[in-house]
Structure 1
Amino acid sequence: MKNNVKIARVQIDLTQQQLAEKVGITRQTVSLIEKGKYNPSLKLCLAICDVVHKTLDELFWVDKEDRTEC
């Protein structure tokens, strides 16, 4: 999953630690999300969106080639 979490976080002058505290996760988890190495739950995605004042579409997306058939 691709994301713009780091860009949005930096735009509002938050550290990874501050974002983590606001959404109830660890700084390490924020780092993994920003690197695209951890896929957060929808609930966590929405919490991050709320903190950084962005929509889900602005922060998270999946490229067509990364999607799997259900």
Structure 2
Amino acid sequence: MSDKPRENRVREHRKAAGITQAELARAGGVSRQSIVSVEGGDYAPSVYLALRLAAALGTTVEVLFPLNEEG
């Protein structure tokens, strides 16, 4: 298993919602750079942040961060 967090669907859902990284960052209580890192798969958010992002995007954590059982 690599050190890089697994892929996620945050960017896809953010764009579908029509909000910017800065707007999502405000909703999550983090910096825009944190959202950039999450979307790029460079940072795995805390459970709390994942829940806040899911709520802001009108979806669930499981949809944003699907488990990949192959790894």
Q: What TM-score, normalized to structure 1?
A: 0.86
Larger strand share, 1 or 2: 1
Aligned to 1:9: 14
Q: 1:54 aligns with which of 20, 40, 59?
A: 59
Say whether 1:20 aligns with 2:19: no
Q: CA RMSD, aligned part only?
A: 0.9
Q: Distance in 2 between matches of 1:54 and 1:14?
A: 14
Ranges in structure 1 where 5+ consecutive residues have no aligned partner: 66-70
Aligned to 2:43: 38
Q: Distance in 2 between matches of 1:62 and 1:9?
A: 19
Taking only the aligned residue pairs, the percentage that are identical comes to: 31
Match of 1:40, SS state, is coil
Larger helix share, 1 or 2: 1
Q: Shift in Å at residue 56 of structure 1?
A: 1.3
- Kept after mapping to 2: 8 A contact 1:49/1:56: yes
